[in-house]
Chain A
């Protein structure tokens, strides 16, 4: 082949690589800008006091977001308690019964649930729970968030377990291990890193949700540990404070945003570390 043509190819190849690299870099620009903006506006108000103190009334300086942090923690806990076992079970079912009619139906349902706008989930929970209970509560907020977690956990579990070779299951069954023990003691442990990753990602997903909480957890300026009373949450606090007319509250909203973004970032990094460290070699 002539030298000229090879040179042409090399130039095209380099050009293409350059474009791909450039576009990849461009795609992270928005994230970087958002992070810089939030951190530069919010970091000055974040301190230990900010994390452990309660909000102060309008006009007073200082005050923290402890009630919102505790509220978010409560909500995640309430959401996780039913969503993790249910999501993992459904994921196991889907990976075990591939191609069955019920499986494709469940898969479709999970996909639709995944795509349902969070505000709709909030309203539905409002109709189901808040109206019947006669009050806003951490419980209803947690359940709304749990519904949002569910599809993420189902998908992560299913995808992880599908990758586990059948030979592993046969090895266990051939030892006379009953099916349910094979699933619980061989298959699930082998897929644990993927399942844990899915759980952390789903927590990261719901930690920043505001819409489903507006009609359910509602928000609460005071510290509350009671799950059948309204509770505050970090995103709710940001929403309420940022839309208020008071500049002191805006500062707190920036600080809370900073905390929330840091939390979500941490969850995602944690998920990656688990995925890498706990990876099972077949």
Chain B
């Protein structure tokens, strides 16, 4: 078995009194793509938002249980440092509208006040954009505003921005739900490439997508982890009836 990079123990997440994630225990293997799949509103997004402690920023929201990043309890760490090690890409592309493409990629350093020499930042920008398969499209107009790009390009820009911080894990929260099929295919291709260097956690309600890109799949239903296993096994021989019903389109 592969080594585990992120592990949760009895993780529950609440909005006020409403429990949306219910005692999830999960081990995410390193350098793999793990998909968290389930119908809308089952707590997928909330679950991964606990991994980088973004969940707790919403007023009224809180989490219980443990999350370990390489054995370290993230709820005992400084959230700011965790977020630099666990990057995130959101449902809708959200490049910084006041910044150029170049500044968007380097934003994690700039906004944090980390000083870089010109050549260092040039290297980071180029490598990150190459990593996000966007370099060839934007290399000639890096000083344009990031918001002039198409939706799919903006999403890859956001991936580049997260990659620039050189994270251990990249959380992808339905990164293709706002994109057309072509741009989606591009991102899925990219996910394949990225797992060589970074562990990916992908949230989707798209069963086919989960099947195409992931090594492991977790099926979440009503906040509970129903089943977790290698994608192929889970898709072909689900152990739980609810997983089977979801996969065969009985609900969701």
A185 to B113, CA, bound (A): 10
Does B92 belong to the interface (CB within 8 Å)?
yes
Q: Which residues of B contact A178 (CB under 8 A)?
A: 80, 112
* Minimum CB distance partner of A278 in chain B: B98
* Minimum CB distance partner of A100 in chain B: B59
Q: Which residues of B contact A171 (CB under 8 A)?
A: 90, 94-96, 158, 161
Q: Which residues of A contact B158 (CB under 8 A)?
A: 171
Which one, A17-25, A149-157, A162-170, is touching chain B?
A: A162-170
Does B57 belong to the interface (CB within 8 Å)?
yes
A165 to B107, CA, bound (A): 18
Contact between A282 and B147, CB atoms less than 8 A apart: yes
Contacts A186-B111, A282-B97 given; indicate if A175 touches B92 (C-beta within 8 A): no
Does B242 belong to the interface (CB within 8 Å)?
no
Q: Which residues of B contact A186 (CB under 8 A)?
A: 96, 98, 111
Does A107 belong to the interface (CB within 8 Å)?
no
Does B195 belong to the interface (CB within 8 Å)?
no
Interface size range on A against B? 20 to 34
Does A45 belong to the interface (CB within 8 Å)?
no
Interface size on B, residues (CB 8 A): 29
A64 to B179, CA, bound (A): 65
A280 to B83, CA, bound (A): 27
Does B87 belong to the interface (CB within 8 Å)?
yes
Q: Which residues of A contact B83 (CB under 8 A)?
A: 173-176
Does A211 belong to the interface (CB within 8 Å)?
no
Contact between A176 and B94, CB atoms less than 8 A apart: no
Chain A contact residues: over half helix, strand or loop, or mixed?
Answer: helix
B46-58 interface mask toward A, CB cutoff 8 Å, 1 = contact, 0 = none? 0000001010010
Does B76 belong to the interface (CB within 8 Å)?
no
B138-182 interface mask toward A, CB cutoff 8 Å, 1 = contact, 0 = none? 000000010100000000001001100100000000000000000
Q: Which residues of A contact B97 (CB under 8 A)?
A: 168, 190, 280-282
Q: Which residues of A contact B54 (CB under 8 A)?
A: 170, 173-174
Contact between A174 and B111, CB atoms less than 8 A apart: no
A282 to B151, CA, bound (A): 12
Contact between A181 and B98, CB atoms less than 8 A apart: no
Does A41 belong to the interface (CB within 8 Å)?
no
Kindly provide the distance from the CB of A185 to the nearest chain B CB, expressed in whole angstroms. Answer: 5
Contacts A186-B96, A190-B97, A280-B98 given; indicate if A175 touches B87 (C-beta within 8 A): yes
Does A177 belong to the interface (CB within 8 Å)?
yes
Q: Which residues of B contact A172 (CB under 8 A)?
A: 96, 107, 111
* Minimum CB distance partner of A282 in chain B: B97
Q: Which residues of A contact B98 (CB under 8 A)?
A: 186, 189-190, 192, 280
In chain B between 30 and 61, which residues have their CB closer than 8 angstroms to a CB of chain A? 52, 54, 57
Listed by A's residue number, 30 A-B pairs whose Cβ atoms lie within 8 Å are A168-B96, A170-B54, A170-B94, A171-B90, A171-B94, A172-B96, A174-B87, A174-B90, A175-B83, A175-B84, A175-B87, A175-B111, A175-B112, A176-B80, A176-B83, A176-B84, A176-B165, A177-B80, A177-B111, A177-B112, A178-B80, A182-B111, A186-B111, A190-B96, A190-B98, A192-B98, A281-B145, A281-B147, A282-B97, A282-B147
